[in-house]
Structure 1
Amino acid sequence: VIKYDMNYLKEALALVKAKIGADTKEPLTRSFNEQVKGLGSDGKGDRSNYYDFLKSVQEKIEVAINSKLNKHY
C-alpha cells in the first residue's frame, strides 16, 4: 500500500487563491467567501479598495470611449 502525503495541498491552494486574488484585484473574502482575517478587521477596507479599483477602471474606459466618440462625431 502506497501512502501519499497531501499536506502540501493546503499550502498550494492558499498560493493559488493568493495568485487569483492578486490577478483579479478582488478580495479573497469576496471571491472565495472566506472569513476576514485579522484582529478587529471586518473586511470593509478590502471592499472599499476593490470598489475604488473598479471605479477607476470604469472611469478610464469612459474616458477612452468618449475620446473615440468625439473623434468620429
Structure 2
Amino acid sequence: MHALRHFYASVLLAAGESIKAVSEYLGHANPALTLRVYAHLMPSSQDRTRRAVDAVFRHPDEIA
C-alpha cells in the first residue's frame, strides 16, 4: 500500500500538482510533511522551464 501511495504522489507531482493539493489528497495534516517526504519527486525549475518553452515552440501537429 505504501508503494501505491508513493506512486500516486509521484505522478501528481510530476504532472505539476501543488504540494498543498497532494498533501490534502494523501491526508497529511501539514503540507510540510508532504514536502519533506516527496520533495525529491518534484520537477526541478529547469524541467518546468524547458517544458514551458518547448510547448510554446511546438508545431501545431505535435499538440495532442
Q: TM-score, normalised by structure 2?
A: 0.42
Bigger relative CO (Cα 8 Å, ≥ 6 apart): 2
Q: TM-score, normalised by structure 1?
A: 0.39
Larger helix proportion of the pair: 2
